[in-house]
Amino acid sequence: MLRRTRWLVAVAVTATALGAVPGGPASAEPGHTAPVSSVKAGAGGTTHTITLLTGDVVTVHSSGSRCPQASVEPARPNAVFHQSCGPDGHLHVVPVSVASKIGPILDPDLFDVTTLIAEGYDDESTPTLPVIVQPAVQAARVAALADVRQLPLIEAVAGHVPKKSEATAKLATDSLLAGAKKVWLDRKVRATGLTTTRPGNAAPIAGKQHGSGLDWNLDQISAPDAWKAGYTGKGVRVAVLDTGADFTHPDLAGRVVEKADFTVEGGDAVDHNGHGTHTASTIAGTGAAAHGQRRGVAPDAQLVIGKVLDDNGFGDDSQIIKAVEWAAERADVVNMSLGGEAPDDGNDPLALAVDAASRKSGALFVISSGNNGGAISAPGSAATALTVGAVDRDGKLAGFSSRGPLVDTSVAKPELVAPGVDIVAARAAGTNLQDPIDQYYEGLTGTSMAAPHVAGAAALLAQRHPDWKADRLKAALVGAADPMTGVDPYAVGAGRLDAVRALSGPTSNQSAPDLGTFTYPQSGTAATTLTWTGDTGPATVNLDLDVTAVNHDGTAAPRGAVTLTTSKVKVKRGSTASTTLRINRAALAASPGYHLATVTARSSGHKLVATTPVSFYVEPRSFDLTVNTKPMADTAEGADNFVGVLVTNLDDPLISAGGAFFEQGKSVTVRVAAGRYAVTAGYSSYDPTTDAQQGAYVGDTDVAINGDRSITLDPAAARPVTATVDGAPTAPILTSFVYQQTTKNGLSWWNSVTGLGGGAKVSVSPLRKPSIGSLRAYSTFYLQSPQGTANPYAYDLVHEYTGGVPADPAYRVSKAEQARLARIDERFNQVDSPEMFTSLRRAIFAPDGLYLTQLRNFDLPTNRTAYLSPGYLYVDEAVYGGLPAQEQVRSYQPGSRQSKIWARQPLHSDWADGIVTKGDVLPCATAPARTRGNLHLDLVMLTDQHGRADCLQGGGIGLNRTLSLYRDGKLVDERNASRADFTVPQQAADYRVTFDLDTSLILPVSTKVNTSWTFRSAGPTGTGSVPLPLLAVDYALPMDAGNHIVGGTGEFTVRQAQGVPAQKVTSFQVWTSTDDGKTWKGARATRDGGAYRVELPSPKAGQAVSLRVKAGASGGSGIDQTIIRAYRAG
């Protein structure tokens, strides 16, 4: 059965042949790769490379919240990939060879490249991929892993898979998978205290209330009343798994009885972050540094400190799992103010470890819910954990507090809430996380601060009942909470923490039962038994019971929908009384959604004794949709044949189901609400014996579901997607079908099937326009001339299917249509540096910026003629070894002709403007500009032509740079950067920007480039910005394909910034040097129209020529640029 998903998963099938992949070699052997550094891109984008578990390398350009653009280079020839992305912006890249293992064995996060980047597992950040493996056989434990660590709590091991190795890929996909029961990504976990500063209008964080002399948070939870009753946590051990602790802090003196460091072998567990000290003192601080006023909730409890988060507040699942087992063996209560980022249903390995440890030892784990205001992640998702949200000083829910239900369930978490805003507690020496009060105290905010309040209250209760285990402690604390009204019940659970109520009188025996889903149609009754146990005192307590129920949004359930079998019970000394909660499902038929029934027990005088929340989900009018898939025809015996089915709601694509890969010919059933859906499937077949591969997209874009229904998807209806050019023989290197469907709420999803190489077949069935929303469909093609053609050519084509996809999707380019194609005469030089080969990535977008496809070609001919479909948007990015050269987006007119030369030396520093951002087109560069008080610079370290950006704002290994800004001759600031912002006055002034670049560690040419720009500028009025009037120089030297000079005359052109008044170039000078700049000789420059022609020396064997160029303009702008070793002798 298909799993229910929280977001749309759009499948793309990518088939690769002969090692040809987008962003990888089109005709080279695997491994012939030019790695791209991780760089910050303009408009908020980044570029990363990620090596998957299988050894396949994905290059990803991220564009904020939109779906990233990706290309894949397989570890071995001939591979098939599924790509998927939905409204959440997460990109999944799944090799077909392991598709059937995703879910049952392999953690989907291992192929979620967005998550891998966010977790810091991209290739620029780490050379290994950390995993947690539950082995099915002992031999699999170390077959593909390094640095193996045992995790007996979940019968698993943790280790690292080395990247970028064919042998590694074989181990990972063969040895590891053959013996693995489950393989998870070893995810990052972080502290759940907010690190942002408080709003300026926030109340003073050190304020007192109720005249107790204590901070408000202690009074809010009635901690002083518990102390007066004699309960201070004495004799109870509380473990704190966090960033360690400051053991020298006066408030923790004498409180810590044991410690361990899980972040580094032999570590001292000292807190250099501050988070752990704060949480530990909230639990059991003595308040010694504040004369007892700022004490913990359980000031006499003993602390067991486990440092599981590093000094930046981050840790790994595996190291925390080790600590969970350690802590559970040593403490009655364990506080974990930490969590991951991904929503979890309780099956994350860290959540499973918490459950296993709690059930084995009886220790209660108290865990923060998280600070994203959305779904709860692990370990707060653990079933046995007491998960805690946050409220402020007024007892109101904090907006950042994460809430339930747990993803894909109706489980209510957090079970309760506690103070978590502006909490003052101990400050670790030398730290400053948020709001320091003085040397010893700091105010922090987050669910991290709420959890230790509950852990402290649990210590008080454990002192009162030393024989109680986790389930009794949790149930009693949840039951003792103060109910909250007018708020999402799934955000607060039973309500606000009360630390004293559970210490006497009857207590609840269940925390927050979940009754699951009530499937449509609604009929009959659901029931659960609730019990309370009397205190050890002799008195009999009469309890009055009441029940209310509200929907997720706070709407009350219909009258009579929830009832109790009895409204009164008697609880005697140590005995148990019960009632049955009954839910009339038929009464809730008109109120579908998540519900929480709250049963309250009160004693005489209407005194609250216990609160029990019960969760359930009422399914709306829903039906079974069975999707039958027929197998692809003409596939070889033994081929890997898989299909991925998606069912997407046409009113809201966030309501969807799918993501499962299974064998073709099988059927799946998914439960969907009545409505209209797109039912689609991405087929793929790969024969490892013959390299034959096929990809097909099949489906119906508009299916009405008003009852149980069966639909059959048949790839026989699909026809080949092909392109032919009349009179021009071609060979396909990429064929792609791209499909986007948009619902009436404006959200879209895309699917694509891409084949690379002549042996890859792509097919698509007819697709009609839906009755709801819109449909867009395109085919794109990269065609090249047959091998050995004297004058190589290429066709980069786009064909739009208006009105839906027809029965025959083939595209024929007639002679008349050929005349409308844009022509580019391309020349590809090679930088005069070993292994610095030139490749070209061309990305294609629809006129409105919708991303269609891209391809990176290696082994390019020196000269080639390219023909492109006019009217579309293109972004060309050459890569010289590891140096990008990204042009700005361009659209070509029908029948136009232009020329481009790539990798022509000298490489020099520059800037780019004319930046266009449109749809998915997000260039990496930003134009130099200024506002009334800020001056923005974005310089290109190395480029071959003005307007091309190197996308290396983040720097690179072996590239040493210094950027300086002067105003009226005085230094404003100096940065180790190429992109920077400077605060400057609005008044007009003379500016000078210097940019010094040293590449001598990695390059034999352009080893040092020193550039000075001068200009006069004033800030605009208002909030707008204006371009900076900078000059640039383009160098057109007579070079052969190897960048060796073949003539004596070069052409130099002075470029000016767009959007500012044009200046007259008043001076232009050139000097040359053949001794690396020790001596210079003037060169004659002759003006020729808009350019200057300069006689240049031809270097002798072993020599290099350096250049210095200086130009000035009438408006005060100038440029002075020196390039050491601009070109060398051949």
| C-alpha span between 1048 and 1084 (Å, rounded) | 12
| C-alpha span between 490 and 416 (Å, rounded) | 10
Cα end-to-end span (Å), the chain: 66
Count of residues making up the chain: 1130
Beta bridge partners of 996: 962, 1010
Report the DSSP pairing between strands 364-368 and 386-391.
parallel
Does 275 qualify as catalytic in the annotation? yes
- Return the H-helix or E-strand segment holding 462: helix 447-464
Listing from the earlier edge strand, what are the strands of the sheet with 541-551?
514-518, 607-618, 593-603, 541-551, 568-571
Residue 346 neighbours by CB under 8 Å, 6+ apart: 352, 355, 378, 381, 382, 383, 406, 409, 411
b (16+ CB within 10 A) / e for 1074-1093: beebeebeebebeeeeebbb
| C-alpha span between 857 and 657 (Å, rounded) | 37
Catalytic residue among 402, 448, 656, 765: 448
| C-alpha span between 580 and 528 (Å, rounded) | 6
Residue 584 neighbours by CB under 8 Å, 6+ apart: 525, 560, 561, 562, 563
| The amino acid at 186 | D
Which residue, among 719, 730, 716, has the nearest Cα to 664 in the 3D structure?
Answer: 716
- Return the H-helix or E-strand segment holding 98: helix 96-99
DSSP string, 667-708: EEEEEEESEEEEEEEEEEEE-TTT--EEEEEEEEEEEEESS-
- Return the H-helix or E-strand segment holding 99: helix 96-99
Catalytic residue among 61, 275, 453, 595: 275
| C-alpha span between 814 and 797 (Å, rounded) | 13
| C-alpha span between 661 and 645 (Å, rounded) | 7
Q: Which two tokens stand for residue 500?
A: 């004293």
Q: Looking at residue 125, what DSSP letter applies? A: T
> Do residues 369 and 401 touch, judged by C-beta distance below 8 A?
yes
Residue 510 neighbours by CB under 8 Å, 6+ apart: 475, 530, 531, 612
| C-alpha span between 605 and 590 (Å, rounded) | 37
> Do residues 350 and 376 touch, judged by C-beta distance below 8 A?
no
> Do residues 336 and 327 touch, judged by C-beta distance below 8 A?
no
Which residue, among 531, 530, 532, 537, has the nearest Cα to 464 in the 3D structure?
Answer: 537
Which residue, among 1086, 1123, 1104, has the nearest Cα to 995 in the 3D structure?
Answer: 1123
Q: Looking at residue 205, what DSSP letter applies? A: T
> Do residues 400 and 383 touch, judged by C-beta distance below 8 A?
no
Q: Which two tokens stand for residue 1052?
A: 């130099």
| C-alpha span between 322 and 433 (Å, rounded) | 27
Does 448 qualify as catalytic in the annotation? yes
| C-alpha span between 775 and 787 (Å, rounded) | 38
| C-alpha span between 241 and 309 (Å, rounded) | 8
Which residue, among 842, 997, 970, has the nearest Cα to 910 in the 3D structure?
Answer: 997
| The amino acid at 108 | P
Catalytic residue among 112, 122, 123, 242: 242
Listing from the earlier edge strand, what are the strands of the sheet with 675-686?
4-5, 656-663, 640-649, 675-686, 693-705, 760-764, 719-720
Q: Looking at residue 42, what DSSP letter applies? A: G
Residues designated catalytic = 242, 275, 448
